[in-house]
Amino acid sequence: MPLTLGTAGHIDHGKTTLVEALTGTNTDRLPEERERGISIALGYAQLDLADGRSVSVVDVPGHERFVRTMVAGASGIDLFLLVVDAREGPRAQTYEHLEILRLLGIEHGVVALAKIDAAENAADVSDLVPGAEVVRVSAVTGEGLAELRAAIDRAARRVERRRSDGPARLFVDRVFSLPGAGTVATGTLWSGSISAGDRLDVLPEGFEARVRSVQVHGGEVERAEAGQRVAVALTTERRRNVERGDAIATPGAFAVTYRVDAALDGDVSGRVQVLHGTSATTARVVPLGSHAQLRLDQPIVAAAGDRVVLRRETTVGGGVIVDASPPRHRDPERVGRASVDAPVRVRDLALRGVDADGLERAGAWAFSPAWLDELRTRVHDELQRTPGLPATALVGDVPWSSDILPLLGVERVGAKLYLPGTQPAAAESDEVRLGDGSTITHEEYDHAKRLLVEECGRAGTITLARFRDLHGSSRRVAQLLLERFDVDRVTLRVGDERRLRRSATRS
């Protein structure tokens, strides 16, 4: 039966090297990964077992900065390969990855005590994962590789088979374009099956895509089944874009929802990051007795039984979704209170049972006086240190609306914020207009352009996601900037990527 194995473990403990020794595939495909010697993105390979069966392998990064990527790879796997350096023993990400595997319900796997050839006194990991076999192995000398394959085979035999007769759902972890194939999306098929000719929905956006062809590990197949690593070539309506974090699913089979009820593991409340499938969004956890409601800032494509991981700076908990389309329950901690300690939409006040008296209002939003005082103090302190704070600096902290500026006691001139009476006279003309009517300074425009040109000079092309990461902005701001560069004939869009025009390379 089709199965997917995911690696886990601390950075530099040898996951990628061990996968290459087992499969013959170096899963570090990015030049930056090979130059730096660390995994950044998910890598994929096929592992052949002794009886002729094969399993898909997802190799995940071990660095703490890439835990979201690790969860995206681990979501949907059937068993794990935990790699521990025999010289160092378990480290911080060893334990966090183990906790994530537990929260995702991944019960079966193998512990590889790696680099055994270089260890004078090998670490004792016999009690690290109760019930999992421990195999001493060296990717350099080949010691233990056959034993490790046999242990993986035994673990795989204990995994329960997934259903391929239900609705299809594949969470996208990579998107790229190929000549003649168009848009190609890859991911682990969580449930159901996908065949050429199927018409599926791309969620949460909700547009239709037709499957042109299906591949499993580079080979075209008539039908891909649950548990396999799958690449699907898609034709989308009106040239809509598929993105990492999307779900490709049977129409009407799954909820696109801004809230879910979940049975949580641990006492978690307040604001968290919710990792589900290959998507991530922030949310507020509302405890409701035996379970909790997650009120999400961005929608997810969910079903009862799905698992989520909750993080702040580190993993703080997780749980199982028990209702993917629940009603909005009253928050027992807020009912009857005369104020709120975070921004709230005015239209949601009645649903929360909150008395609006005493709240400050700005457009569609309401704020408690104490919350505004705290934000006002912080903004004023920042503006005194750095006059001309970019207007986008507030986006990550408050629902953006120019109506809030008088409440904060600041003024907007062009694309920047100033304390009253401190703005320069020339600021009004120093701006570049973006497609939504907002503006940025020429200095900000030139900085973004410089990042773009340098990356295209290094890699040849750039994607929206890569530019967003380089620029350190939201996806929306990055999209607006790239569209402006298209208009200014700096870039030419080709599929999901952009390359520099010749005129831009000469300027």
Average pLDDT of the chain? Answer: 84
**CATH superfamily assigned to domain 255-323:** Translation factors (2.40.30.10)
Binning pLDDT at 50, 70 and 90, where does residue 336 land? Answer: very low
Nearest to 331 by CA among 355, 352, 354, 357: 352
Distances (CA, A) of 432 to 350, 357, 388, 437, 485: 41, 41, 16, 10, 11
Residue 160, SS3? coil
**pLDDT in the model for residue 248:** 97
In this prediction, residues 440-466 reach a mean pLDDT of 88
Between 482 and 409, name the one with better pLDDT. Answer: 482
**pLDDT in the model for residue 343:** 67
**pLDDT in the model for residue 429:** 46
**pLDDT in the model for residue 469:** 84
Q: Are the CB atoms for 457 and 422 separated by under 8 Å?
A: no
Asked whether this chain's domains 169-249 and 439-506 adopt the same fold, the reply is no
Per-domain boundaries in the chain: 4-157, 169-249, 255-323, 336-427, 439-506
Distances (CA, A) of 256 to 260, 303, 496: 10, 9, 24
Calpha distance 341→332 (Å, rounded): 15
**pLDDT in the model for residue 334:** 46
Binning pLDDT at 50, 70 and 90, where does residue 428 land? Answer: very low
Under 8 Å CB-to-CB from 284, ≥6 apart: which residues? Answer: 270, 271, 272, 294, 295, 342
Each residue of 91-115: pLDDT tens digit? 999 999 999 999 999 999 999 999 9
Please state which architecture CATH assigns to domain 169-249.
Beta Barrel (2.40)
Calpha distance 278→71 (Å, rounded): 7
> Can you name the residues that pair with 323 across neighbouring β-strands?
261
Binning pLDDT at 50, 70 and 90, where does residue 131 land? Answer: very high
Binning pLDDT at 50, 70 and 90, where does residue 339 land? Answer: very low
**pLDDT in the model for residue 5:** 95
Q: What is the CATH number of domain 4-157?
A: 3.40.50.300
Between 403 and 150, name the one with better pLDDT. Answer: 150
Each residue of 136-188: pLDDT tens digit? 999 999 999 999 999 999 999 999 777 677 899 999 999 988 877 789 999 99
**pLDDT in the model for residue 27:** 85
Nearest to 204 by CA among 237, 245, 236, 163: 245
Predicted TM-score (pTM) of this structure: 0.66
Query: Which one-letter DSSP state was computed for residue 238?
Result: G
**pLDDT in the model for residue 398:** 55
Query: What class, spelled out in words, does domain 439-506 have in CATH?
Result: mainly alpha
Binning pLDDT at 50, 70 and 90, where does residue 506 land? Answer: low
Report residue 150 as tokens: 């046999």
Give the lowest-confidence range in 179-188, 273-282, 383-392. Answer: 383-392
**pLDDT in the model for residue 182:** 81
